[in-house]
Amino acid sequence: MAPTDHPMSNLSPPTTRPQSPWRWWVCGALMFATLLNYMDRQVLPQIATELKDAYGLDNARYGKVGRNFAWAFAVGSIFFGLVADRVGPRALYPVVLVGWSAAGLATPLMADPRYASLAAPADDPASGPYLWLLYCRTLLGFFEAGHWPCALLTARQILAARDRPLGNGLLQSGAALGAILVPLYTAAVRHLGGGWEVAFWTIGGIGLLWVPAWLLLVRRGDLDRMAEAPVADAPNSPVAFGWGRFARVYATLFLVIVGISVSWQFIREWLPKYLKESQGLSADAADLVVPAYYVSAELGCFAFGLFVRQLVARGRTVHSARVLGYAAFTAVTAAAAVAPLAGGWATVALVVLAGAGILGLHPCYYALAQELPAKQMAFLSGLLAAVAWFVVGGVQEQMGAHIQATGSYAAGFVLAGLAPLPGLVALLILWRKP
């Protein structure tokens, strides 16, 4: 092997070799950032049942925690979208990683009366742990939102159009991988005699170590040079947008992201509790089923990118391949809607299958959003994410109240299974390539 053929010898992105392995090393760093993002996010859903009695975290309060996380994520999407367009992802990424890691590290302090009392009102001191958790999850949501504009801008600048579905799939796959690892890790900590706090501390600490690795891999000016050296099949100069076409494209993206966000976030937030409290699984059994769901999601995420590449290789346009992929994965997602009717392990199997469809739809959305005007892409995509997360927050709160009142999760799974359908209709009717 020649020296220049080794992947580590190409960490500096040469402008004359747009397919340099350095691009895929950066995609790997994006995937690991997504993994950390989701590990910090998923620890609470995995242990929420165990915290229910000790800290007064009933389903209604849990729904409010999910609401605050979602609404903070919405605000962060707009804020960090604006900042990312101006300062770029290289400088912004370390800030958001440190921010969400610190929020994760602070979460276990809810168990310490000295800190919990700081959040408690004088007339209800028992609510201190719950309110501390509420505030930490709010900060977590705000800073975690910064990951996505940074990641999407980076992927847009370093990947060709034909590679973006696969690159976005690699990026998004970190979400499933992180969610796979969390239940296995929390189970290991539990069996080794560690408290629930250990997972928060260790995952937050690892997040801080990502920052120097990013700064070494992506040096100052690297991403700017990539933007100045567009690849042949995907020039970085945006397609001309008239107001009419922009409105149709943006409306389509809105329906797509709202649908996939509602689907993914409901199941992500409630699946461990559903398995333990509705299906009667033990903590150990749930710690095996939840990873199975995310393994399915991981496979779906990669499958979408490979599916699009195969269709393009056989002569289809990139856009028509994306639409076909979106239709196929929407059909798989619909398995969640019929899951409550099946009962027993058939219900679990249908939910696991739906995971492949839901996460597989995400790379399609990212690829579509990367066709927005380049100079405002982070802000425009951040605004879309903000609206979607405001909707998600409302859904989480309402579902928490509904589950607390009825004990049934069926309505949430029906909604999760059918939510992507309006996006498919919009893709077929509104999105037209010039």
Domain positions in the chain are 22-429
Token match 């927005």: residue?
372
Q: What's the confidence (pLDDT) of residue 162? A: 72
Token reading at 341: 């009717």
Structure tokens at 308: 């699009």
- The token duo for 72 is 């903070």
Distance CA 354, CA 337 (A): 9
Question: Would the pLDDT of 337 be above 90?
Answer: yes
Q: Which residues have CB under 8 Å from 292's CB, separation 6+?
A: 352
- Looking at the predicted structure, is the pLDDT value of residue 419 above 50? yes
> Can you list the pairs that 266-269 forms with residues at least 24 positions away whose Cβ atoms lie under 8 Å?
266/392, 266/395, 266/396, 266/399, 266/412, 266/413, 266/415, 266/416, 267/293, 267/336, 267/351, 267/354, 267/355, 267/358, 267/413, 267/416, 268/41, 268/42, 268/45, 268/179, 269/45, 269/66, 269/396
What's the chain's Rg over C-alpha atoms? 21
Q: Which amino acid is at 50?
A: E
Q: How far is CA 125 from the centre of its chain?
A: 35
Average pLDDT over residues 160-186: 80
Higher-confidence position of 12 and 305: 305
Best-predicted range by mean pLDDT among 13-22, 47-56, 321-330, 380-389?
321-330
Q: How much is the pTM? A: 0.74
Q: What is the mean pLDDT of residues 43-60?
A: 86
pLDDT at 433: 59
Assign 16 a pLDDT band (cuts: 50, 70, 90).
very low
Question: What are 44-47's contacts with CB under 8 Å, separation 24+?
Answer: 44/107, 44/133, 44/137, 45/268, 45/269, 45/270, 45/271, 45/272, 45/273, 46/182, 46/183, 46/186, 46/272, 46/287, 46/290, 47/186, 47/196, 47/199
Percent of the chain with pLDDT over 90: 44
Q: Is the pLDDT of residue 1 over 80?
A: no
Work out the widest C-alpha separation in the chain, in whole angstroms: 72
Q: What is the pLDDT of residues 86-125, one digit of tens each?
A: 888 999 999 999 999 999 999 999 988 888 888 888 777 7
Range in 8-22, 162-176, 374-388 with the lowest mean pLDDT = 8-22
pLDDT (tens digit per residue) in 177-228 = 888 899 889 989 989 988 889 999 999 999 999 999 999 998 887 776 654 4
CA–CA distance, 22 with 5 (Å, rounded to integer): 11
For residue 17, pLDDT beyond 90:
no
Q: What is the pLDDT of residue 18?
A: 45
Could you give the CA distance from residue 355 to residue 66 in angstroms, rounded to a whole number? 20
For tokens 């959305």, what's the residue?
Answer: 365
10, pLDDT greater than 50: no
Say if CB 88 and CB 223 are below 8 A apart: yes
Question: Does pLDDT of 12 surpass 50?
Answer: no
Cβ neighbourhood burial of 124 (10 Å; 0-12, 13-18, 19+):
exposed
CA–CA separation, 397 and 62 (whole Å): 8
Residue among 174, 171, 147 nearest 80 (CA): 147
pLDDT tens readout for residues 73-86: 999 988 998 898 88
Q: What is the pLDDT of residue 226?
A: 56
Residue with tokens 């496979």: 299
Out of 1.10.3720.10, 1.20.1250.20, 3.30.70.270, 3.20.20.70, the CATH code matching 22-429 is 1.20.1250.20
Q: Does 271 score more than 90 pLDDT?
A: yes
Which region among 45-59, 88-102, 178-192, 342-356 has the lowest average model confidence (pLDDT)?
Answer: 45-59
* 100 phi-psi bin (left φ>0, alpha ψ -120 to 50, beta other): alpha
Residue 166 has what pLDDT? 73
What whole-number distance in Å separates Cα of residue 258 and Cα of residue 389?
Answer: 8
Q: What is the mean pLDDT of the chain?
A: 85
> How many Å separate Cα 231 from the centre of its chain?
28
User: How many other C-beta atoms are found inside a 10 Å radius of the C-beta of residue 115?
Assistant: 15
